[in-house]
Chains A and B, each alone.
Chain A
């Protein structure tokens, strides 16, 4: 079972918080990796909010390939930042030669382009780089989006923290939203792409569970949007469904839960919006999830939410103070980060519920 976590705060936080959140929940062999997505960045990235950041782990050759593609597309490098690494022989980690976060200016030809056009461009370029890097295993590109940074690594999370100097708080790397997971996937091969959180066009998703409708989800999603690729982990399907429902279909967020965990027909029949719900259920039957799952999601506007499978087979808890809210698998994680909160306010969401944290850090409970 995975353990997943998300921190959303009014102030910029250092990723050591995410490491601590996850380490306290560690079980048995939860030591196979660490991955995180940071959104709403501070530190060295604070002044580049509108510019896309490419998150890359690659070889030197991979770097050159990516540079060429970016150059060819007309992107201009504004800033480059790489974490200072601390290689030690005893660290259990399989690092890539380079970890690079590039802040880029859009091509000149996109000066008057619409937001949508720019968003599609970022996906196209990321997919292009990914494809080029895959030819000779030259590296991995995790995200290419404004104000977003992704890091994924294989190894012991403590050692990964050590390697990247993430245990020591500093002013360089900070964000208001950090999602993280400390484990490589077990279903399939260990692939860096397969580690949660998954990211696409501003949407982030993490899941704890087993998507038994993976094959159905995947077969259906493959045809829906060019960015739905990879499928190294069955949990990627949850991200793609979130993206599809909210971004492509433009349905309100509340319908995400109606798509992935439709209400039983008996309950649908009792509701006023039964016709709408039945239409959704019929039309998107292949996006349903039917295994045990807890999902944490982040929307492009910074909204963070969580919801579970329809049988509530995986745990999740939400704890918060005035300036920080945490959604994670086990309460011990929250205790670590927010020891002084009013724990009676903690929310253990039920199977028909979404807990949504907006940018005012208001914690809402939506019943499906």
Chain B
């Protein structure tokens, strides 16, 4: 028997196996050139061939050395199944095939002594999403006429900012009219869908720019007042000083990356930003800080953030904050003060069993300083994370959003701190339906991130395809700072896709509001929803229908 080393990694252990058709391959080399993971390479094989070149059969065996494309079997350079090789192959000669019997994560950890890391996708999807078990069941027909989605006007705007209860608004009556006696916290009326926080370090600069272009276009040309959150990690100074800043929600997270630049740019800002979002936590890796690996810390990232080329780890918490009250006092007050109380300041936390306590506490904040509560559920996240966080920690968003809304209802304070929720919004490709259902359950609006990447051409999915956002080798140029890979992304096309998607979402939202006879957002109108799952209905306190 031959000697063999059974503990070594074999092709059979990998997630994906390359299926290569020798007879179709012309050895053009495109696949090898295109694979950013170095998971395939050109090699040679010794082939035994039986030939007969006589008039009568006279078989003889020859051995030839032939060039082939081979899969690399390696813990570091392994195939992610992104399918770029298949996309570039002119002859259908190569493709990745999922290996259902893989044991890669076990092998990876046992060899590297390091947790397995990958892009922000939950790969343990075992059943249909909760939102898919909810339908819009109240269709107005005779008692309450449906509206005409084409003809009637709709007010699709949501507040971003601290909304005061009416008795606290400093109104006085002058000549029979209400007038304001003094200033109140700023409230911005914006589109109920925000492009969620994805940092300029996590995304390629071209992807980030495409999002910014789409945002500006949607605002200025399409009349959809959408906002984009910068994510942690700063904003190019040119943008900070431009009038487009008003469409950007600037984020500060626990690493405070990029804030130096933002503060320095303040005297030169011609517009206030749309808001400040203080990220406490995020859904894909709740309790974890941000993780931008050194290989993605390109020169421009170093400049924007003022850091050397090193792994950039945001701490899991804001150093120096140990309670909700402190967060209100220190962070909110300071950030409100920084922009002279003209800019709403909101907070983003990962959905958690304790979210309601946090929300309750903020609602009781006597300073009226919190301008929004952003809740991010388990399906959220675009960046790199440990697999253990992605797959095994976090809280689904739908029930937690509902809990927070009902907690506010219980206090009679609904709407005072606008609720924004995300985590898998648009996962089934229908952002409008998800947004509508979340709004009926009590959200003022939602934010979405991953879907934007998918619109840009992300090839990853929730079944473990690609998910290499952490490697800095994104094969389509979205989550990488590698200049060669980034060039694969067509900025204008990405911006166009996103704009077009939102145009359709806007139309679809109206198409959903019309049949329930509403011309303004049905926040908290859970009577419009039915659940086809009894457990979901009971948990969310909506009607069960079968």
Contacts and interface: CB of A to CB of B under 8 A. Distances in A.
B147 A311 contact: yes
B148 to A, nearest CB: 10
Interface stretch (B94-102, B171-179, B530-538): B171-179
B180 interface: yes
Query: Which of B152, B178, B179 has its CB near the most chain A CB atoms (within 10 A)?
Result: B178
Given A278-B189, A285-B523, A212 B169 contact: no
A288 B178 contact: no
Contact of A216 (B165, B166, B179, B523): B523
A313 B166 CA distance: 28
Interface in B512-533: 516-520, 522-527
A212 B153 contact: no
Contacts of B153: 264, 266
Interface in A230-280: 248-252, 254-255, 262, 264-266, 273, 275-276, 278-280
A254 B155 CA distance: 22
A212 B523 contact: no
Contact of A292 (B144, B152, B157): B144
Contact of B143 (A210, A249, A266, A283): A210
Contacts of B157: 265
Nearest to B409: A219
Interface stretch (A28-36, A220-228, A319-327): A220-228
A215 interface: yes
Given A212-B144, A224-B412, A291 B517 contact: yes
A216 B444 CA distance: 13
Q: Give the size range of B's interface with the partner.
A: 35 or more
B414 A290 contact: no
Query: Which of B166, B167, B409, B522 has its CB near the most chain A CB atoms (within 10 A)?
Result: B166
B519 A310 contact: yes
Contacts of B166: 249, 280, 283-284
Contacts of B414: 219-220, 286
A135 interface: no
B518 A212 contact: yes
Interface in A278-332: 278-280, 282-286, 288, 290-292, 310-311, 313
A283 B518 CA distance: 19
A163 interface: no
Q: Give the size range of A's interface with the partner.
A: 35 or more
A167 interface: no
Contact of A212 (B176, B189, B516): B516
Contact of B180 (A212, A220, A255, A276): A276
Contacts of A265: 155, 157, 189
B324 to A, nearest CB: 23
Contacts of B171: 251, 276, 279
B189 A283 contact: no
A210 B144 contact: yes
B430 interface: no
B415 interface: yes
16 contacts: A210-B517, A216-B522, A223-B411, A251-B171, A252-B177, A255-B178, A265-B155, A276-B171, A282-B161, A283-B415, A284-B166, A290-B519, A291-B140, A292-B517, A311-B519, A313-B145
Interface of B: 140, 143-145, 147, 152-153, 155, 157, 159, 161, 163-167, 169, 171, 173, 176-180, 184, 187, 189, 409, 411-412, 414-415, 516-520, 522-527
Interface of A: 186-187, 209-210, 212-216, 219-220, 222-224, 248-252, 254-255, 262, 264-266, 273, 275-276, 278-280, 282-286, 288, 290-292, 310-311, 313
